[in-house]
Amino acid sequence: MLRIAVIGGGIVGLATARALIGKGHEVVLLDQGPGPAAGASAQNGAQLSYAYVAPLAAPSIFAQLPSLLLSPTSPLRLRPGLDPAAWSWCLQFMAACTQARADAGTRELLRLAADSRGAFERWRANIPAARIEHASQGKLVLYRSAAGLASAARQVQLQQAMGGPLQQVLTGAECCAREPALDPAAPLAGGIWTPSEEVADCAKVCAALADELASGPGFTALWGHRFLRWERQGNALTGLFAEHDGVQQRIAFDACVVAAGAQTPGLLRPLGVGGSVPIQPLKGYSIDVAAEHIVRMPATSLTDTATKTVFAPLGAGTTRRLRVAGFAELVGQDTHIDHGRIALLLESVRTLFGLRSAPTDLHPWAGLRPATPTGLPCTGRAGGMRNLFVNSGQGALGFTLAFGSADRLAADFEGSAPVSRFSSSSAALAAGNA
């Protein structure tokens, strides 16, 4: 049995802690937040999108770049500034926009998503659905143009050949029949329907995980602990120092897993291995709109590809609400809330479903997703460090891939390959992308 430190109290860190304890290890988890899900897991899009994992890096991105970069309402915003790591990430992203890499990434992510779905289902079997606001009502992805729908249909065929979940291509009228909350007069070319997709409140899942871990043996949570520095001997770590309420504390361990999301490269940089994890923070936003304000409250999970906005119905009764999330901004560690972005999210609700009244409390939120150029997470041993591991870089799919990533890391913990610059610890894919 090893004593393992896990840095990060979001969905990936907590799932990692659970998987390691399941292998017989002792885990001490630390996070600078006051409790679980203080970062990107706090109020993400709430969609468990096991069928929608294709990397953003694809040949089709080149045709979209002018509008994505120049439109004031574009869901994408790139401001790398003078940060060499951000520029390097952008160049790696462009290099990854080949069909071969996109297909290889899709295949790997579909496998990881399937593993994650199975692991999540086994875990939630003992959790009341209402506690985590879980529902399996399917997902409908909307397309405004015939060309966009045709491209999506080709992706469906590709994923079906790879063994992906069942999906259906629908006309605009069929989309409205599937989800009556949509306006029949809306200019829809059609959509992709996936009946197996799910939603849940990620923060509530994190809270349930933390409670489960705290009630069992082999787990210690250190909330409100800010990382200070590593304790190192040669190519191995013996511990770390953290600060809590002004007091410095040494935490000894046999091994450490960094699952700190967008903060991961900064934690690794003092060890000289930060470059092995090409992670950049992609800022996203979300709001919660109470069902009472919405004219036609949807029952299914939706994505509007025109605005790159996702909609997830959550809760029941007085807590019934629509989680609305979107945008991808490469703006460093900036987490301030741009209220222009919040207004665009609210307008997307008005456009698709109508609003009875102006909501007064939207719970506006912004968070940083840890994104890699290829969309493939960094899972495995970090550089040349003997007992340092990484589980990060899941990007916008952190909630979807968390349980699968955790199980993979725990399964081959002692034999994990070094993290590739472009991929997860899948040896074959790493060799193809290095």
Whether 427 shows a pLDDT value over 70: the answer reads no
**Final residue belonging to a domain, choices 315, 341, 371:** 371
Does residue 337 share a domain with residue 213?
A: no
Per-residue pLDDT reduced to its tens digit, 140-177: 999 999 999 999 999 999 999 999 999 999 999 999 99
Considering the domain boundaries, does residue 430 fall inside one?
no
With residue 220 as reference, give the H or E element that holds it. Answer: strand 219-223
> Tokens in use for 355?
């609003």
Task: Name the residue among 267, 123, 287 with its Cα closest to residue 206.
Answer: 123
Whether 430 shows a pLDDT value over 80: the answer reads no
d(CA 87, CA 155): 29
> Tokens in use for 383?
């550089």
pLDDT of residue 82: 81
Does residue 173 share a domain with residue 52?
A: yes
- For the chain, the average pLDDT equals 93
Considering the domain boundaries, does residue 261 fall inside one?
yes
The proportion of the chain whose per-residue pLDDT surpasses 70, expressed as a percent, equals: 96
Considering the domain boundaries, does residue 426 fall inside one?
no
Does residue 382 share a domain with residue 285?
A: no
pLDDT of residue 115: 97
Q: What count of residues does the chain have? A: 434
Q: Which residues contact 215 (CB under 8 A, 6 or more apart)?
A: none
Task: Report, as an integer, the average pLDDT of 120-136.
Answer: 97
Considering the domain boundaries, does residue 254 fall inside one?
yes
pLDDT of residue 64: 84
d(CA 323, CA 47): 9
Task: Report, as an integer, the average pLDDT of 246-268.
Answer: 97
Q: What is the value of pTM for the model shown?
A: 0.94
The proportion of the chain whose per-residue pLDDT surpasses 90, expressed as a percent, equals: 84
Considering the domain boundaries, does residue 432 fall inside one?
no
Does residue 192 share a domain with residue 321?
A: yes
CA distances from 144 to 185, 304, 381 (A): 12, 9, 43
Considering the domain boundaries, does residue 364 fall inside one?
yes
**Domain of residue 337, CATH code:** 3.30.9.10
The number of folded domains in the chain is: 2
Position 421 confidence tier, pLDDT thresholds 50, 70, 90:
very low
With residue 224 as reference, give the H or E element that holds it. Answer: none
Does residue 20 share a domain with residue 116?
A: no
> Tokens in use for 73?
């309402």
Position 253 confidence tier, pLDDT thresholds 50, 70, 90:
very high
- 388-392 and 255-258: which strand pairing? parallel
d(CA 167, CA 383): 39
d(CA 180, CA 109): 32
Position 109 confidence tier, pLDDT thresholds 50, 70, 90:
very high
Position 10 confidence tier, pLDDT thresholds 50, 70, 90:
very high
**Domain of residue 270, CATH code:** 3.50.50.60
Position 429 confidence tier, pLDDT thresholds 50, 70, 90:
very low
pLDDT of residue 428: 29
Does residue 73 share a domain with residue 144?
A: yes
Report the greatest alpha carbon distance in the chain: 67
Pair 406, 391: CB distance under 8 Å: yes
**Final residue belonging to a domain, choices 342, 371, 400:** 371
Q: Which residues contact 141 (CB under 8 A, 6 or more apart)?
A: 52, 152, 191, 192, 194, 302, 303, 305
Considering the domain boundaries, does residue 402 fall inside one?
yes
- In terms of residue numbers, what domain contains 399? 3-41+204-277+375-413
Does residue 266 share a domain with residue 363?
A: no
Considering the domain boundaries, does residue 270 fall inside one?
yes
- Interhelix angle for 11-22 vs 202-214, to 10°? 30
Task: Report, as an integer, the average pLDDT of 194-209.
Answer: 99
Q: φ, ψ for residue 340 (rounded to 5)? A: -65, -40
